[in-house]
Structure 1
C-alpha cells in the first residue's frame, strides 16, 4: 500500500497534482491566499477552500502561477471562463419563471404565483441567480440567504460565496440531503493600517434549538405546536485573539463582540421565530453522499494546463515565423567606432547587406512547427469539447454552415442534453425549498394567511435550438384533435422558446379571444346561408 497514503478521493481530488493545492490543503505556507493550519478553518475544509481558489485562478486567467511559474510568459486565452459561461447559459435556459402547480385552474394559486413573481422582480432574482449559479458552475457550490425585512415588508435575498459557508453536518450523515441544523457564515476582514483597524473574524451563525421561553409555539404554516426555533448570532473577534487551536465551530464567545441589527436588537442568539435555517446551499452536481458539489472545470484542469502550454508554445513559434532568425556571413556590418565591436543588426524592410564573394544569408523556417502546434491546439480543444460535454458548435469552433444537417447538429447535443438534465436535477429540490421559505416569511410578516403553502418552483426554459414553426403546428393539431389540453399546449410552447411570460394568463387570453370571436363566426355563417338561399 506504499504510496496510497497520499491518495485522497473527494470532490477536489483532481487538483492533487498541483503542489500549491497540496500545500494549502495540508496547512503549509503557500502562494495561495487561503488560511493555513494555524487558523480557525477546520482541517477538512482546507481542501475545499484551496480548490475554490485554484478554480477562481483558472477563471481569471491566472492559473500559471499555480504551476510554480511567474506567469509573465504564459498564455491563457479564457478557455476556462468560456466553459463556465456556456455551461451556465445552457443550464439556466432562456428563461427562469416561477410557477405553481395547478395555477391554471385556481384563482388562489394564481394570486400566490403573482405575489412570488412580484417578489422575484423586487429582489432581482434573475440577476442574483445568474451570479449565484455561475459561482456554482465554477466552484461547485453556491449559497442563498433569506431574511425578513420590516422596512421593505418582504423577504430579502442575498447570495454568499461558498468559501464563507461552514455547515455543521449531522453526525453519521451519509446522504447529501441531510440538512444541517447549525450553519456558520464566516470570513476574515483584513486590517487597515491607515485607520488602525485590526484584522477581525466575523461569524454569522444560524442554529436550530429548543424554544427557551414558552417551550412551544405554533407557526403559521403548521397546525401542530413546535418546540424548535432558529437562533441568529452575529459576532466578531480580533484575529490576534482567536483561539488558534479551535475551529470555527468551537470559538469562545467570551472575547466576541456582538453586532446589532437595524432595530437595535443585539444579535446574540436572537430568536428569529422560524423553525428552519433560512440558508439554502445549492450544489452544482448530484454527488450522492457528498454534501458539496463538483465544479464543471474540475475534470478538465490538466487539459486546460496543456492547452495553455500549447498556446504559449504556439505564440513563441509564431514570433520566430513572423520575425525569422537570420544568419549572415561575409557581410560588412556596422562597427562601434569607440570599441570596434559590431553593432546589433536589425531586420527592416528594404534593408540591403553587401556580402563578400563567399558571403551567405540563411534563415530558420519554423512555419512547419507552427502548423503542428496549431493542429495540436485544435486537438486539445476537441478533447475539451468532449470532456466538458459542450459541442463544438456551442464552444464556437464550428460554423453553422459546416454542419452537414440539422439532424446531425441535433445528435451533437446529446451529451449536452444529458449534462443539463443532471445539473437541473441537482437543483430540483433547492429552488422549491427557497420559495417555500419565502412564502413562510410572508406568513410570518402577516402578508399571507396561515395554512399550507402550495409547491412553487422555478422552471428553466429551453436551452437547445428549436423549430418554432414545427412546435406551433404540433400544438395546434394536438389541441384541435383533443389529444392535448390548452394548458399543456401553452406550456409546450413556453418550453419551446416562445415569448410567453405567464402561461396561465396566456390560456385566459386565448379562451377570451375564442369566446368573443364565436358570435361573430356564427353571424357570418348565418349570413352566408341566407345569401345562398336568396341567390337560389
Structure 2
C-alpha cells in the first residue's frame, strides 16, 4: 500500500523523519549534505551524521537555510530568534550546576572517626586527580563536551599520555568524527574505534584533499612478533598477566586514491601515509602499553536497548521550534503592517511624475500631507488584533516546548513569579526538570568514573611520580545542585539540628555545601570550625579563672576590714588573738 512515504524507518533518529533533507542524506547530487556522499563513509552512519548537521543548523539559526537547500524557497524568509540555542544552553546549565568536583571514595572522614584502611591513599589520589584536572582545564573540557552532548546527543573524550608533561592529556572531539566498530553488539565497549575526518585541499601548500583516520584497536601483544603467548603485567592489575594491548594508528589517504567500496574500515593500507610523532616514531600500530581504548563516549540520555547513541535535548520538540519560527515570521509581517499600515485613499489628488506623466506612489511617513477632495476618504488597515493573537500563540508555543522538553517554564524563566503562590508550588513546577537532570546525570555517571579510572591507569603506565602499582581508586564527578536553594532556610535547619545534637558537624557542613555556601573543602572547614571552638573555649576558661581570682582577692580584703567573708555558704569564726604583754608584764 502506497502511503506517500519512501521508506518508514524507526531508529535512534526517526524523530527527524519529517524533514525532507533526511530522505536525501547520502544521495548523489543532494545539496543539503554534499559531504555525506564521500566514498569512505560507511552507509549505516549517514543518518546519524545528517542528524548532527540538522541539529547544528537549529543551534546556529540556520534551519531555514538548510530547508531551502531541499527546495523550500520560502524557508529563506524564516525568522529564527535563538529559541533552540536557548533551550540547549538552559538544559546545559542545569546539568552542570555551579561547579563540578572530583570525589574519591574513602578520601574523607570525620575527625572523630578512625580512618578506614586505604583512606590515606584515597585522599592522596583525590588530591592528585584534582591537580591534574586543574592543569588539564577539566572544567572547560567538560563544558565543551557536554554542550555537544546536550545539542547532538553524543560527545567524545580522548586521553593520551604526554611524556613531556608527564600527565595524561584530555581532548574533546565532535561526535561526527567518532566511528566505533562493534564486533559484539552485547559488549560494553568497542574493541576498535576510528576518529576520522576530511582535510580540504590546500592549493597554496600543494596539498590535495585527503581523509585522516586515527584508530585505537585492542589486540594480542604477540600479534606483530614471532613469539606466541607473550603476556604483560599491568600495574593496575598486579598478579594478573594479560596478553592484550592497545595499538594506535594515525594515517592519511588521498581521496582520489580511494575506490568505491573502500569505506572507513576498509581503507587500503598500502596507500596510507602514516603520521610521525615528535620523537620520530611512526604511528603505525604503535603499542600504547595499555589494555583499554582511551576513548570515552558521552551520551546525553540513557540509550535504548540495542542502541549506543544518545538523544538531543531538542530532539522531540523540533516541530515545536518550527512552529515558533513560523509564528515569529508571521508576527514580523503583521508588525510591519501595524507600524506602517496600509492606507486606502479615495478622492485624493496624487502628484504626477513629470518624466513619465504617471501618478507617483504615496508613502506613509511622518509629515506627509495629502489633499483630498470634497468626497475624499482615507481608510487604514488595522492588523493590531492579529498581531496580539500571534504574540499569544508564541507564548503558548513556548509553554508547550518547555513542557515537552521537561525544562519547564519555570526552568526557562518564562513563568511569571506572581503566578507562584509559594515555594512549595515552585518546587512542584520544577519537578519535571529535576527528573530530567537526574536522568542526564545518571547517563554520565559511569562514563566519568571510567574517565578517572583511565587517567589513573595512564599515570601508572607512564610511571609518574606518586603513582604506585595497584587497583585504581573509585572516583566520580560530583555535581553541584542544579536549582537555587533557600540558603537561609537551610542554615536555620542546620543550626537547629546541630544544636540539638541530631546532626554531626561533618553532615552539617556537607548540607551547607549542597546549599551553595562557598566552602571549598569540607574537612578543612570542619577543622577550622573545631579550632575556632577550642580557641573560644580556652578564652572563656581564662576569663572564668580571672573572675575567680578577683573574687578571692575581694574576700581577703573583706576579712581584713572585719566584714564577714563567707566561703561556700558557711560562715567561719576566728579565735581572738592573745593580748600581747610588754616586758614588764603589762598588757598593751
Partner of 1:419, secondary structure, is: helix
How much does 1:264 deviate?
A: 1.3
Q: How does 1:127-146 map to 2 (within 5 A)?
A: 127-146=140-159
Q: What's the offset of the Cα at 1:512?
A: 3.2
Within the candidate set 506, 531, 535, 1:487 is matched to 506
1:262 corresponds to which residue?
Answer: 278
Question: Match of 1:182?
Answer: 192
8 Å CA contact retained: 2:59, 2:85 = yes
Corresponding position: 1:221 with 2:222 = no
CA distance in 1, matches of 2:438, 2:454: 25
Who is 1:170 aligned against? 183
- The residue that corresponds to 1:158 in the other structure is 171
Q: Distance in 2 between matches of 1:348 and 1:414?
A: 52
Contact preservation (8 Å) 1:29, 1:36: no
Q: In the alignment, is residue 98 of structure 1 matched against residue 98 of structure 2?
A: no
Is contact 2:410–2:430 with CA below 8 Å preserved after alignment? no
Residue equivalent to 2:377: 360
Give the Å deviation of 1:419.
0.2
Q: 1:499: which partner in 2?
A: 518
Please state how far the C-alpha of 1:30 moved relative to its aligned partner. Answer: 2.5
Give the corresponding residue for 2:201. 191
Residue 389 of structure 1 corresponds to: 406
Offset at residue 397 of structure 1 (A): 1.9
For residues 68-97 of structure 1, what are the alpha-carbon distances to aligned partners after superposition, in whole Å with 9 as ceiling and x for unaligned? 345442110000000000000000111101
Shift of 1:532: 7.2
Write the mapping of 1:367-406 to structure 2, written as runs, cut at 5 A: 367-406=384-423
TM-score by length of 1: 0.94
How far does residue 245 in structure 1 lie from its aligned partner after superposition?
Answer: 1.0
Displacement of 1:526 in angstroms is 4.6
1:422 pairs, out of 434, 439, 442, with 439
State the partner residue of 1:275.
291
Q: Which residue is 1:339 aligned to?
A: 356
| Residue 529 of structure 1, CA deviation | 6.0
CA 490–102 in structure 1, closer or farther in 2 if over 3 Å, else same: farther
* 1:428 aligned counterpart, secondary structure: helix
Task: Note the alpha carbon deviations across 1:231-261, whole angstroms, 9 max, x for none.
Answer: 0000110011123313211111110000011
Is the CA contact (8 Å cut-off) linking 1:27 and 1:38 kept in structure 2? Answer: no
- 1:387-466 residue pairs with structure 2 within 5 A? 387-447=404-464, 448-466=467-485
Structure 2 distance, partners of 1:417, 1:529, is 59
Where does 1:319-338 land on structure 2 (aligned, <5 Å)? 319-338=336-355
SS of structure 2 residue aligned to 1:498: coil
Q: Which range is displaced more, 481-490 or 464-473?
A: 481-490
Match in the other structure for 1:243: 259
Partner of 1:121: 134
Q: Quick check: 1:38–1:245 contact (8 Å CA) kept in 2?
A: no
How far apart are residue 272 of structure 1 and its match? 0.2
Aligned to 2:29: 29
Q: Which residue of 2 aligns with 1:285?
A: 301
> Equivalent residues in 2 for 1:9-88 (5 A)?
9-24=10-25, 26-33=26-33, 35-37=35-37, 39-68=39-68, 69-70=72-73, 71-88=75-92
Which residue does the alignment assign to 1:89? Answer: 93
Retained in 1: the 8 A contact 2:61–2:82?
A: yes
CA RMSD of aligned residues (A): 2.0
SS at match of 1:484: coil
Larger of the two Rg values belongs to structure: 2
Report the Cα distance in structure 1 between the residues aligned to 2:11 and 2:484, rounded to whole angstroms. 36
- Alpha-carbon distance, 1:527 to partner: 4.7
1:211-234 CA-partner distances (Å, limit 9, x unpaired):
025711001111111100000000
Pick closer, same or farther for the CA change 1:39–1:505 going to 2, 3 Å.
Answer: farther
* 8 Å Cα contact 1:38/1:244 also seen in 2: no
SS at match of 1:505: helix
Point out where structure 2 has 5 or more consecutive residues left out of the alignment: 110-118, 556-565, 567-588
Q: Equivalents in 2 of 1:53, 1:528: separation in Å?
A: 80
Contact 2:248 2:287 in 1 (8 A): yes
Following TM superposition, by how much is the alpha carbon of 1:107 offset from its aligned partner in structure 2, in angstroms?
3.0
Q: 1:18 to 1:27 in 2, by over 3 A?
A: same
Query: Aligned equivalents of 1:230 and 1:186: distance in 2?
Result: 18
Could you say what secondary structure the match of 1:158 adopts?
A: strand
- 1:286-339 alpha-carbon deviations (Å, 9 max, x no partner): 123211100001001111001000000000000000000011121111111232
When the two structures are superposed, what TM-score results if normalisation uses the length of structure 2?
A: 0.86
Would the aligned equivalents of 1:284 and 1:293 in 2 still touch at CA under 8 Å?
A: yes
